[in-house]
C-alpha cells in the first residue's frame, strides 16, 4: 500500500518531521507537492458551484487543500494497489502504526475508506468492533468526524471522489467524512480505534510545534458562522433540537451505535482531549 504525504514546497521543516516519523515506524512514503494558495491567486477566482449550507466561501487555502487531496486520489485511482494511505504533514504516529501500514490484510473487505486519525470530538460509531491486530480494532463510522490528516482509501473510492469533485465548494474533510453529503454517505467508512495518527497541534506539551495552516482562516470564518447561529437560536428551535437529539439517541441504541471520542496512544501514554486538559489545569 502506497503512503502519500501532502507537503508544501515551502514547508521543509514539516517534510523533515514526516521523514522522521515514517522512519520511526519503519515505513516508506512518497511526497506529493501540495497546491500552495500563496502561489495561486487564481484560486480566489475559481467558481465554486456546489451549493453549501454555509453562507461563506471556501478560503483559498481550503481550495488548495482539496485539490491536493484530489491529486492523491488520482494517484491511488490510477495505481495497481487496492488501497492507498494519504497523510498531511503535521501528524504523529502511534508506536505500532508501521505494522498496519505495511499490510492491508486487516482492512475490512467492504471498506471504501478507513479513517486513521482522531479529532477528539464525539462521533458516532458502531458498537461492534473487529480486531485489526496489534491492539487496534475497526468500527463502522456513521457520524461526522472531520479531518483528513490520515486515512486509507480504496482504488474505487478514489475514482469516485475524483469524479464527485469536478464541481467543488466544500472543504475536503466534509467531502470525505460528512455523512450529510453524498460523497461520504455513499461510502462504507470505518474508524480505526485507537487512532493511528494525530495532528501535532493536539499533543499539548509534547507538540513539536506544527500548527494547522487552515486553522486561522477557518477560525475567522467560524466566528461569523457562530454569530449567525446565535441570531437564529429561538426558543422553538431549541425545543426542536432537543427533541431531535433524544430521537437520535433512541435510534442509535436500537441500531447498536454509540457516540464516543476516538482515543490516541503516543509513546506509551494515552493523549487526553485538549478540553479535558484545560479543565484539569483550571482545577
Q: Residue 232's pLDDT is what?
A: 56
Strands 2-7 and 83-88: parallel
Mean pLDDT of the chain: 86
What does CATH list as the number for 2-216+257-282?
Answer: 3.90.550
Whether the bond between 194 and the residue before it is cis, its omega within 30 degrees of 0, is yes
Would you place residue 277 in the very low, low, confident or very high pLDDT band (cuts 50, 70, 90)?
very low
Residue 216 has pLDDT above 60, yes or no: no
Q: Residue 49's pLDDT is what?
A: 78
Residue 266 has pLDDT above 60, yes or no: yes
Q: Which helix (H) or strand (E) holds 5?
A: strand 2-7
Cβ atoms of 183 and 70 closer than 8 Å: no
How far is the C-alpha of 87 from the C-alpha of 60, rounded, in Å? 20
How far is the C-alpha of 239 from the C-alpha of 222, rounded, in Å? 24
The predicted-structure confidence for 62-113, as pLDDT tens digits, reads as follows 999 999 999 999 999 999 999 999 999 999 999 999 999 999 999 999 999 9
Average pLDDT over residues 130-139: 97
Instruction: Provide the 3-class DSSP secondary structure of residue 26.
Output: coil
Q: Name every residue whose Cβ is closer than 8 Å to that of residue 128 and which is 6 or more positions away in sequence.
A: 139, 140, 256
Q: Residue 233's pLDDT is what?
A: 58
Cβ atoms of 37 and 43 closer than 8 Å: yes
Cell numbers linked to 246: 433524544
pTM: 0.85
Cell numbers linked to 85: 494511505
Residue 178 has pLDDT above 90, yes or no: yes
Q: Give the residue with greater pLDDT, 151 vs 205.
A: 151
Cell numbers linked to 67: 485539490
Percentage with pLDDT > 70 across the chain: 79
Q: Where are the domains of the chain?
A: 2-216+257-282
Q: Residue 55's pLDDT is what?
A: 60
Residue ranges with strand state E in 108-161: 113-115, 123-126, 130-133, 136-140, 150-154
Q: Residue 282's pLDDT is what?
A: 32
Q: Residue 252's pLDDT is what?
A: 62
**How far is the first Cα of the chain from the last one, in angstroms, to the nearest whole number?**
46
Residue 213 has pLDDT above 50, yes or no: yes
Cβ atoms of 212 and 199 closer than 8 Å: yes
Q: Residue 207's pLDDT is what?
A: 86
Amino acid at each position: 500500500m502506497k503512503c502519500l504525504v501532502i507537503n508544501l514546497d515551502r514547508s521543509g521543516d514539516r517534510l523533515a518531521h514526516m521523514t522522521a516519523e515514517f522512519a520511526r515506524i519503519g515505513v516508506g512514503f512518497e511526497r506529493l507537492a501540495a497546491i500552495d494558495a500563496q502561489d495561486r491567486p487564481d484560486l480566489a477566482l475559481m467558481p465554486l458551484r456546489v451549493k453549501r449550507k454555509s453562507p461563506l466561501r471556501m478560503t483559498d487555502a481550503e481550495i488548495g487543500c482539496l485539490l491536493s487531496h484530489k491529486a492523491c486520489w488520482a494517484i491511488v485511482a490510477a495505481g495497481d494497489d487496492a488501497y492507498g494511505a494519504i497523510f498531511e504533514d503535521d501528524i504523529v504516529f502511534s508506536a505500532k502504526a508501521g505494522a498496519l501500514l505495511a499490510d492491508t490484510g486487516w482492512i475490512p473487505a467492504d471498506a471504501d475508506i478507513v479513517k486513521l486519525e482522531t479529532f477528539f470530538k464525539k462521533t458516532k460509531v458502531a458498537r461492534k468492533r473487529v480486531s485489526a491486530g496489534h491492539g487496534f480494532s475497526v468500527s463502522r463510522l456513521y457520524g461526522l468526524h472531520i479531518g483528513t490528516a490520515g486515512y486509507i482509501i480504496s482504488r474505487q473510492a478514489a475514482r469516485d471522489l475524483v469524479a464527485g469533485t469536478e464541481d467543488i465548494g466544500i472543504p475536503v474533510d466534509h467531502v470525505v467524512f460528512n455523512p450529510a453529503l453524498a460523497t461520504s454517505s455513499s461510502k462504507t467508512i470505518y474508524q480505526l480505534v485507537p487512532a493511528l495518527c494525530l495532528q501535532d497541534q493536539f499533543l499539548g506539551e509534547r507538540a513539536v510545534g506544527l500548527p494547522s495552516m487552515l486553522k486561522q482562516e477557518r477560525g475567522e470564518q467560524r466566528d461569523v458562522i457562530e454569530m449567525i447561529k446565535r441570531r437564529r437560536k429561538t426558543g422553538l428551535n431549541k425545543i426542536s433540537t432537543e427533541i431531535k437529539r433524544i430521537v437520535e439517541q433512541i435510534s442509535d441504541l436500537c441500531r447498536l451505535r454509540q457516540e464516543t471520542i476516538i482515543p490516541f496512544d503516543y509513546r506509551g501514554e494515552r493523549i487526553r482531549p485538549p478540553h479535558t486538559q484545560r479543565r484539569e489545569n483550571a482545577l
